[in-house]
Amino acid sequence: GENVEQHPSTLSVQEGDSAVIKCTYSDSASNYFPWYKQELGKGPQLIIDIRSNVGEKKDQRIAVTLNKTAKHFSLHITETQPEDSAVYFCAASYNFNKFYFGSGTKLNVKP
Amino acid sequence: NAGVTQTPKFQVLKTGQSMTLQCAQDMNHEYMSWYRQDPGMGLRLIHYSVGAGITDQGEVPNGYNVSRSTTEDFPLRLLSAAPSQTSVYFCASSYSRVKVSEQYFGPGTRLTVT
């Protein structure tokens, strides 16, 4: 099956700085890559996603890039704010039924 | 809409006991799934369903059963609880199984098996 690796496991940044989280996947058939934000005591919530026919997607302060050749994709958060503090998960799917998640990145934005 | 609801929020079981985790959605979503979340391991897919009467195994199905008799409900059954099943369980749903659509997660059930 698919194997998704995520780095770093923890990330601490100063408010206003940028944060980058990276994921790699193993199955070249994977074609959909969502990112989720999980706040304490809650379920994950989709923040942005990208399909394999697109190299980059942006939504305000959040962007995702995909390199199919290298099988890696990244989440970029600019102008970080304290409310961005949470655990972020990447995932990969090749048929929209089975999703494989990374191990998560705990982002701490210091005021 | 209530979205995806899960009950109970917390549960403590003894080894060997059985129980059912409930999941319901009121969005008429076709696809539903169950995940377990363990520290440092992200979310792992247990079982999923692409419609009423149709279920399939995910990454870690052993020790769990599911059924989908209605579009709204997707219960997860633990047949004989083991300490290794101590985890946080999330149910999720999405509109379509054949095209990209957002997965909505429930608030989770924290299960402890002693």
Weakest mean pLDDT among A73-87, B3-17, B51-65, B92-106: B92-106
**B95-99 contact pairs (CB < 8 A, 24+):** B95/B27, B95/B28, B95/B29, B95/B30, B95/B31, B96/A96, B96/B30, B96/B31, B97/A96, B97/A97, B97/B30, B97/B31, B97/B50, B97/B51, B98/A96, B99/A96
* pLDDT exceeds 80 at position B100: no
User: Which residues fall within 8 angstroms of residue B9, CB to CB, at 6 or more apart?
Assistant: B107, B108, B109, B110
d(CA A84, CA B72): 32
d(CA A47, CA A57): 12
At residue A24, the 3 state secondary structure works out as strand
A40–B contact, CB cutoff 8 A: no
Residue A1 is predicted with a pLDDT of: 81
For chain B, first and last CA: distance in Å? 36
Residue B102 is predicted with a pLDDT of: 82
Q: How far is CA B109 from CA B17, B85, B86, in A?
A: 17, 12, 11
Confidence of residue A12 (pLDDT cuts 50, 70, 90): very high
Average pLDDT over residues B26-54: 93
Residue B96 is predicted with a pLDDT of: 74
Number of A/B CB contacts below 8 angstroms equals 63
Residue A20 is predicted with a pLDDT of: 98
Asked if B56's CB is within 8 angstroms of A43's CB, the reply is: no
* pLDDT exceeds 70 at position B79: yes
Asked if B41's CB is within 8 angstroms of A96's CB, the reply is: no
Question: For residue B9, what is the DSSP state?
Answer: S
Average pLDDT over residues B7-33: 96
User: Which residues fall within 8 angstroms of residue A44, CB to CB, at 6 or more apart?
Assistant: A36, A37, A38, A89, B43, B90, B105
Average pLDDT over residues B71-84: 97
Residue B99 is predicted with a pLDDT of: 67
**pLDDT, chain A, mean:** 95
Interface test with B, best of A99, A100, A103, A105 (most B CBs within 10 A): A99
Average pLDDT over residues B81-97: 92
Interface test with B, best of A2, A57, A101 (most B CBs within 10 A): A101
d(CA B105, CA A37): 11
Chain B environment of A36 (Cβ under 8 Å): 105
Chain B environment of A4 (Cβ under 8 Å): 42
Instruction: Give per-residue pLDDT as tens, A43-97.
Output: 999 999 999 888 999 999 999 999 999 999 999 999 999 999 999 999 999 877 7
Of B43, B48, B56, Cβ closest to residue A101? B43
* pLDDT exceeds 80 at position B114: yes
Average pLDDT over residues B55-75: 96
Asked if B42's CB is within 8 angstroms of A46's CB, the reply is: no
Strands A10-14 and A105-110: parallel
Whether the CB-CB separation of A63 and A76 falls below 8 Å is answered with: yes
B110–A contact, CB cutoff 8 A: no
Residue A52 is predicted with a pLDDT of: 87
Residue of B nearest to A36 (CA): B103
Chain B environment of A51 (Cβ under 8 Å): 100
Confidence of residue B57 (pLDDT cuts 50, 70, 90): very high
